[in-house]
Amino acid sequence: MLKQLKFNGEVVVVTGAGTGIGRSTAEAVAELGATVVLVARRQHTLDEVKEGIEKAGGKAETFAADVSKESDVIKLREFVEGKWGRAKAIVNNAGNNFIKPLTELTTDKWRELMAVDIDSVYFMCREFIPLLLKSDKPSILNVASTFAHIGNPHMPVYCAAKGAVVSLSRQLAVDYGIQGLRVNSICPGPTLSPRVKGYFDSGSTDPSHTLQKVMLGRFGECDEIGNAAAFLVSDAASFIHGASILVDGGQTIN
C-alpha cells in the first residue's frame, strides 16, 4: 500500500491552496511525492506554502488565479498543459461561505458564492479532464461539506452549493469512470480552518452548539482532512469511485 500512496513526481493541482484544508492537502500530497500546483488568489500566501513544502523536501509550483472566473481557469490549464502536458489529479477545494437567512440574502451574494463554490468546480473539471485522461489512474476530488447532506441554520447558499458539488461529482463518475478517471467528493465536518475560527471569534457561530453534534467531541484539524484527501487521489484508493466521503468525527450520525 505504501507504494500506491506515492505520486512519483506526478502533477496534482490543488485550488484554495493558500490556507486551511487546501494548504494541508497540498502539503500532504507533496510529502507523498507529488509535484503540487498551488492555486489561490493571493500570490504571497502561495509563496509561503511553496516555501514550506520545499523546505520539507517537496516540489511545488504556484499559480495565482480566481477559479470562480472561467478565464483564470483556462489560463491555469494552459500553464499546466504547457509545462507538463498532463495531470495526475485535481483537488477542487476553493470555496467560501456567508451566514445569512435566505430572506436576507442578496442576489449578488448568492451568485458570488455559487461562482466560487460550484462554478469553479465546473470550470476546473471541464478544463482538466482532457489532461487527466492522459495520465494513468487519474483522479478528481471535489471538496464539499457535511452540509451537502444535512441542513445548517442560515447557510442556504453554502448548503445548496455543496449539495451540487456532491451531485456533480457523482454524475461525472458515471460519465468518466469507464475511461479510468475516478471522481469523488469529500465532506469535511466542523474543522478548525482559519475561516471557521473567524466565525467563532466574531461570535456569528457558537462553537459549543456545533460540538454537541460531533460524536468525537472535538473539531477536526485541517491536516486530518488533508490526509484523507491525499489518500483519495492516490492509487491506494483505486476502487473508490463516485463516493461522497464523510470526514466529520461522527457529526452526521447524530
Known catalytic residues are: 158
3-state secondary structure the chain: CHHHHCCCCCEEEEECCCCHHHHHHHHHHHHCCCEEEEEECCHHHHHHHHHHHHHCCCEEEEEECCCCCHHHHHHHHHHHHHHCCCCCEEEECCCCCCCCCHHHCCHHHHHHHHHHHHHHHHHHHHHHHHHHCCCCCCEEEEECCHHHCCCCCCCHHHHHHHHHHHHHHHHHHHHHHHHCCEEEEEEECCECCHHHHHHHHHCCCCHHHHHCCCCCCCCECHHHHHHHHHHHHCHHHCCCCCCEEEECCCHHHC
